[in-house]
Amino acid sequence: MGGFWSHVVEPGFFQSQTVQVALLVGGVVAAISGVVGVFAVLRGQSFAGHAFGDISAAGGAGAFLLNISPLFGFLGMSLVAAGCMEAIGVRRVRGRDVATGVVLGAGLGTSALFLYFNTTLHSTSGAAISVLFGSLFAISTSTVPAVVASATGALAVVLLLYRPLLLSSVGDDIAASRGVAVRVTGAVFLMAMAATVALAAITIGAILSTALLVGPAATALRMTRRPSTAAVTAAVIGAAATWLGCLLAYDSYYWPPVDHGWPVSFCIVAVILISYLVVEAARSHRFRNASVRDGSEIRAAGVTPHLGAASDGGHDALGTSRTD
């Protein structure tokens, strides 16, 4: 067993403080992203989640300009964007998408401006790479408490609003008839989702953060229809994908060509994509087998489909005919 694991886990993986911080921060953020992502998918707000990731890049780039922690830049800009979306948005889905698009355009323009200043004024060309594609192995230990506190706050919001979120996911009118403050619930959840995406941005980058929010959630919802079970499953999938991605990125330094490791962000996103494809393939295979089995049972019962309307007494109300 020791020989096997020595080929899977390269020396120093668990002993490295950089890896330990990456596993802790990445696992916490991925788990929270999975839980929040389930409700984002159920509520049809995946586009808003994607927008938060792109908009948060402006905050990350601004943080580099001001020489402060990128975490606060990502968080601050995402929360401001959530407030703007809620202020100019309406209840209809099309109105929400328009509001999201307007804020997204402004955020992308601001990101381009800040990244330009970083490149021309401070000659920090690496800022664009860190902001857009993340730097999980570069997160400092001083950032861990803020990440854990922010993630805990986002999780607390979802747990407190669990039932109102489920009702409003079915329909605003139904939720309102049950006494749910639909506008307040939506606004608070939007803030929680913005914070979650900002946390994902510091792990795998602003433009890839949607993968942590939507990928594990979509995979879990393909496996179960129960929201609570899907939330737990998405958290497990997200954390496992992040840890496996960290391992692959670390091991890749020993792959040919040596000393040219693969980006950890790519490894995490690749694992999430593969997990979704595997679950989708298994689900399609199961449905295909179920259809074949049902067809065999129908033929065994002597019932054949009848496409036309019932024209005589030999046909029942469902348009089927018996051969006996």
- Looking up tokens 């049902």, which residue turns up? 294
φ, ψ of residue 11 in degrees (nearest 5): -60, 140
What pLDDT is recorded for position 316?
46
Burial class (CB in 10 A: 0-12, 13-18, 19+), 292: exposed
Structure tokens at 100: 């999201």
Confidence of residue 181 (pLDDT cuts 50, 70, 90): confident
Give the integer Cα–Cα distance in Å for 250 and 253: 6
pLDDT, tens digit, 9 for 90 and up, residues 22-63: 999 999 999 999 999 999 999 888 888 888 988 888 888 888
Is the pTM higher than 0.85? The answer reads: no
pLDDT, tens digit, 9 for 90 and up, residues 20-30: 999 999 999 99
Give the integer Cα–Cα distance in Å for 168 and 176: 8
What pLDDT is recorded for position 147?
92
In contact, 317 and 306? CB cutoff 8 Å: no
State the CB neighbour count (10 A cutoff) for residue 283: 12
Q: N- to C-terminal Cα distance for the chain?
A: 63
- Shortest CA distance to 263 belongs to which of 272, 273, 253, 254? 253
CATH topology of domain 23-295: ABC transporter involved in vitamin B12 uptake, BtuC (1.10.3470)
What pLDDT is recorded for position 1?
43
Can you give the residue ranges of every domain in the chain? 23-295
- Looking up tokens 């400092």, which residue turns up? 140
Give the integer Cα–Cα distance in Å for 137 and 189: 30
pLDDT, tens digit, 9 for 90 and up, residues 118-162: 777 766 656 777 777 777 888 888 889 999 999 999 999 999 999
